[in-house]
Amino acid sequence: DTAVSQTPKYLVTQMGNDKSIKCEQNLGHDTMYWYKQDSKKFLKIMFSYNNKELIINETVPNRFSPKSPDKAHLNLHINSLELGDSAVYFCASSQGLDRALVGYTFGSGTRLTVV
């Protein structure tokens, strides 16, 4: 059983399109995150949700909109895709905001390529 699963694994799309990435975790965690990993492997947090409530919203263009229908799911919708959005997007989860200390469980990533 995959603990944190993301779909799709690969996504190739044209500039200007709108796309979504889905994330689901079956660990019973109540906190979920989106991270962006650029071409230099730099990982930067984008968003965090705790029990469906937005907790962290880093300096991310408002073309990116996360949605958490329940605490097991955190989806990422991106409008008007730009070339610079090309990256690997990772979903992660942890049990509780103050439990980030015990470490995250990561999904295997979604490689987004904007052409």
Partner 1 sequence: AQSVTQPDIHITVSEGASLELRCNYSYGATPYLFWYVQSPGQGLQLLLKYFSGDTLVQGIKGFEAEFKRSQSSFNLRKPSVHWSDAAEYFCAVVPSGGYQKVTFGTGTKLQVIP
Residues that bind partner 1 in the complex, under the rule CB under 8 A: 4, 40-45, 48, 56, 90, 92, 97-98, 100-104, 106-109
Among residues 78 and 92, whose Cβ is nearest to partner 1?
92
Smallest distance from partner 1 to CB 60, Å:
14
Q: Are 108 and 8 in contact (CB under 8 A)?
A: no
Distance CA 9, CA 87 (A): 12
Distance CA 42, CA 27 (A): 26
Among residues 14 and 40, whose Cβ is nearest to partner 1?
40
Among residues 15 and 101, whose Cβ is nearest to partner 1?
101
What 8-state DSSP symbol labels residue 16?
Answer: T
